[in-house]
Amino acid sequence: MEARAIQRGVRQSARKMRLVIDLIRGQAVPEADAILRFSKKRAARQIHKVLKSAVANAQQAAQRENAAFDADSLRVTYAVVNEGQTLKRFTAAAMGRGTPILKRTSHVEIRVAGAEAPVKPSPTEKPAAAKAEAKGEKKPRAKAKKRAPAKKKKTTKKASK
């Protein structure tokens, strides 16, 4: 079960928000929730809203499919902050000039998914290479690496007297 949430146009620079989003990427949802709740960064509040929305979206998806849902088993599989539209403003400067002010925005995207056990191949199943040999096919060969041409040695001429 995977769900995502996106918040666009957050009025904070992406660079500042990435410092916080890096802390929760790959974490379990309860751990990420605790990290964001107790962080002193302003970006943590916005990211926390997006995380709660992603969990709620996962719950709704599970409800639609009549599946069991446990929010504690979810993990943050994908968390990214991209740059949004930059608002360009001007302020007064010396000698009648104007100085630009760039008000940066960002887009936050978080995906959560249930922690599922990886599917292991059954012991009776043969690997792909063994299957190919059984059919009489050749094994794929590894490509040979090209070598760089050998460097020429510099010869020094001895000065004659």
What pTM was computed for the model? 0.69
Q: What is the pLDDT along the chain (161 residues), one digit of tens a residue?
A: 899 999 999 999 999 999 999 999 999 999 999 999 999 999 999 999 999 999 999 999 999 999 999 999 999 999 999 999 999 999 999 999 999 999 999 999 999 998 664 444 545 555 555 555 656 666 566 666 666 666 666 666 666 55
Can you read off the two tokens belonging to residue 96? 């009648």
Can you read off the two tokens belonging to residue 107? 């887009």
Backbone φ and ψ of 137, nearest 5°: -85, 160
Q: Indicate if the alpha-carbon torsion angle 63, 67, 70, 76 is positive or negative.
A: negative
Can you read off the two tokens belonging to residue 155? 């010869």
Can you read off the two tokens belonging to residue 41? 């960064």
Q: Indicate if the alpha-carbon torsion angle 10, 15, 16, 21 is positive or negative.
A: positive
